[in-house]
Amino acid sequence: MAESIKRIFLDPSRCIGCRSCVAACRECDTHKGESMIYIDYVERHNTVASSPTLCMHCEDPLAPCAQVCPAQAILVSPDGVVQSADETRCIYCENCGYACPFGVPKFHRAGHYMQKCNLCYDRTSQGKGPMCATVCPTQALFYGTYEEWLAAGRGQQGAKPVNTFYFGRQRVQTRNYVTLREEENELDLMALVEQADMGLHMDLPAATANQHADTWVDAETADIPQRKIPPEPWTPRQPLSPTPTPTPVPARSES
């Protein structure tokens, strides 16, 4: 059965670093002139390689940024799009920034609230493509279903979309995909970091990050509850009933 959900397929090998997506993202009505997408340059002193970074809209576990928000300022729509923080509820604790494995949340210093890619929900909810994918000249950002991605000829080029990532022992499955080689089924980012040389060849002491650290425990084993998608996340919140103002008691006059 064909899949009807449209996603972003990110292909770093096609990115030319033109920053068209960054400029277009600023035009999204919900971003107020600020871009929610980043262009990362890989080893800028050795190569011109670049790659766009945007919210991956994590599905399993569901939206770690929303899981750790104490004010429930980050909502998830029924189709799995993780929204940007509600400015009226965000308390600027930056928990979402620490929880996001991809480092996506951006903090508005003047307004004291978090912003991030919401998949241009004002457009995608109406059947239009997100601004970044709409203007990308090389289709490094492709928006559509898996069948539409195949119809564009990507499968014939030996490409394979992957949405499973490992950060050490933490597995994250996302709504959006990254295009890798055909033989790759998942992306272990920590393993890539360990393999990275960066051309330094320095004799450095062993890392101390694992010293005095507790053994990894899965969230289910530790009985940590996970936040579920509310049935009607866009239902307006009902304000609390105002406390009735007590009737002033007139002072007794002394005769």
pLDDT one-digit tens code per residue, 61-71: 899 999 999 99
- Say how far apart CA 28 and CA 35 lie, in whole Å: 8
Reported as a pLDDT band with limits 50, 70 and 90, residue 135 is very high
Is 200 contained in some domain? no
- Which of residues 86 and 226 earns the better pLDDT score? 86
Q: Annotate 179-236 with DSSP letters as a single string.
A: EEETT---EEHHHHHHH--TT----PPPP-TTTT-PPP--TTTTT---PPPPSSTTSP
Q: What is the CATH number of the domain that holds 185?
A: 3.30.70.20
**Domain presence at residue 204:** no
The CA angle 155-159-162, to the nearest 5 degrees, is 110
Per-residue pLDDT of 6-54, as tens digits, reads 899 998 888 998 999 999 998 887 777 888 898 888 777 777 888 888 9
236 is a domain residue: no
pLDDT confidence of 56, banded at 50, 70, 90? Answer: very high
Query: Is 220 a domain residue?
Result: no
> Is position 237 within any domain?
no
- Domain holding 28, by residue range, is 7-195
DSSP state letter for 251: P
Pairing state between β 58-60 and 170-181? antiparallel
E-assigned strand segments in the chain? 7-10, 38-41, 50-53, 58-60, 106-108, 113-115, 141-144, 159-167, 170-181, 187-188
| pLDDT at site 1 | 39
Q: Is residue 43 a part of any domain in this protein? A: yes
Residues found in the chain: 255
Q: Residue 241: inside a domain, yes or no?
A: no
Task: Please give the tally of structural domains in the chain.
Answer: 1
Tell me, yes or no, whether 33 lies in a domain: yes
H-run or E-run covering 150:
helix 146-151
